[in-house]
Structure 1
Amino acid sequence: MQHEERHPVVIAVDGPSGSGKSSVSKAVARRLGLAYLDTGATYRAATWWCLHLGLDLADRDAVAEAVRTMPLEMGVDPSVESVLIDGHDVREDIRTTRISEKVSAVATNLEVRAELGRLQRALIDAQKAVGSFSGGRGVVAEGRDITTVVAPDADARVLLTASEEARLARRALELHGDAGTEAVEATKDQVLRRDRDDSTVVEFQVAADGVVTVDSSDLDFEQTIQAVLDVVAQVAGVREVAPADTSTVL
């Protein structure tokens, strides 16, 4: 089905760890022919940068200043992740356990949130322009506070959630290749602590007014993508232009 000519669309996807935000948002972006922005990666990149500089993450002023001058380049291709800091590819570095265990110290720094929020809004606005990666069609942006702080005026806003059991199993499978009891236990602290810490500065577990909740607890990957696409079609009038991609799991 062809996309009707319309203004650039912004789709915001929020939710807790392990809800499937990243994989689903990438798939939705591909299916709609849009750019994709992982705002969580900006916090991970900021954490990597501060540690690279040898900063104490508890020194909030120093961390905020470092983030303000961080030479970060974020790619927006939903099929190819690109995160560069000072020309250095940090895609794999920012996904390590070391960063996962420390990112909350940066993500709960309000000055950092303000700075990265400005960066994220600029990246979103850039995808509305002809000549951008998406050709001015728009972007799917996902992260903790996208629906309420960064893009509260998005054309479609979705809170993607799932039960704690489902989220832990998915993250264990992602990190350890196994969703057994030991793997889930090894993952639990990272997932639940991150959610608990981040919830002190932003609400991402209860939908704000105008945000549509999609619960993926009992949905597989394709069903979750379709549920989000249905919301986008209903709320923003945007329908898919690319064929289904079922190669990824939640």
Structure 2
Amino acid sequence: MVDVVTGTPVVVAVDGPSGSGKSSVCRRVASRRGLAYLDTGAMYRAATWWCLEQGVDLDDGDAVAEAVRSMPLVVGVDPAGPTFHVDGTDVGEAIRGSAISTVVSRVATNLRARAELGDRQRHLIAVERDGGFSGGRGVVAEGRDITTVIAPDADVRLLLTASEEVRLARRATELHGQAGAAAVEATRDQVVRRDREDSTVVDFLTAADGVVTVDSSTLDLEETVEAVLAVVDEVLGRPA
């Protein structure tokens, strides 16, 4: 989606807490607008997988940062099937498991590791501005600090959020197939604790100046996609 007024690529940056629907929504938005899709949260998961694979003590901040710096990570940005390979290994499924989810914040709160991954994320965004998978049309990038740290100059900046109750139910359904009381409690650590720990190093719970908030608490997936697309088109001055 090259902007019709300026002829330049479009970067859409989306922040938000766990379970807000960022990944599902942003993949669909990217697909609908012909853009690449960058899941920065998965990069932290891949970094965590790599540290564990290398036997790195996650409490050793310097060792974690060095492992992340040397991590041979290749990210695929096709919204129809984003991929993550580390040293030739497809880790796309492995990084979604509870073994990673329970410890990923220990990498995500390492400031040196964040700086390294931030540089990689900016590079991937720059590639899509110049060519890349999107052919220079642009990218939808989502995570926890995209609108403020990684791409504060993005053309469109959104905070996608939802109530804690809704986010817990969504993640429970995603992980356990249902959102009963037991499933929600089993999921609480991955949602509430991760948000609490990660928020010690970056604010993704409130919208920064210039960032539009989309609350999906009462919306289903397609309604949320439409709400985000409406913001994108309004900000860019495009017809819906």
Q: What TM bracket, shorter-length normalisation?
A: over 0.9
Q: Distance in 1 between matches of 2:169 and 2:238?
A: 32
Counterpart for residue 130 of structure 2 = 129
Deviations 1:54-109 (A, max 9, x none): 01000000110011110000000000121000111000110110000010000000
Kindly tell me the number of residue pairs found equivalent between the two proteins: 239
Counterpart for residue 236 of structure 2 = 236
> Counterpart of 1:79 in 2: which secondary structure?
coil
* Native 8 Å contact 1:232 1:239 kept in 2: no
Structure 1 residue ranges, 4+ long, deviating more than 3 angstroms after superposition: 2-5, 237-240
> Counterpart of 2:152 in 1: which secondary structure?
coil
One-letter amino acid matched to 1:64: A
Q: Distance in 1 between matches of 2:230 and 2:176?
A: 32
Q: Distance in 1 between matches of 2:159 and 2:216?
A: 10
1:1-250 paired onto structure 2 within 5 Å: 4=4, 6-130=7-131, 132-238=132-238
> Counterpart of 1:128 in 2: which secondary structure?
helix
Q: CA deviation at 1:238?
A: 5.0
> Counterpart of 1:234 in 2: which secondary structure?
helix
Q: Percent identity?
A: 68
Structure 2 length as normaliser, TM-score?
0.97
Q: CA deviation at 1:156?
A: 0.2
Q: Distance in 2 between matches of 1:28 and 1:93?
A: 25
Q: Distance in 1 between matches of 2:96 and 2:154?
A: 28
Q: Distance in 1 between matches of 2:108 and 2:186?
A: 22
Change beyond 3 A, Cα 1:178–1:114: same
Deviations 1:150-189 (A, max 9, x none): 0000000000000011000000000000011111011011
Root-mean-square deviation (Å)? 1.5
Q: Distance in 2 between matches of 1:239 and 1:53?
A: 50
Q: CA deviation at 1:239?
A: 6.1
One-letter amino acid matched to 2:124: L
Q: Distance in 1 between matches of 2:239 and 2:164?
A: 31
Structure 1 length as normaliser, TM-score?
0.93
Change beyond 3 A, Cα 1:239–1:168: farther
Q: Distance in 1 between matches of 2:228 and 2:56?
A: 40
**Unpaired segments of 5 or more residues in structure 2?**
none
* Native 8 Å contact 2:3 2:236 kept in 1: no
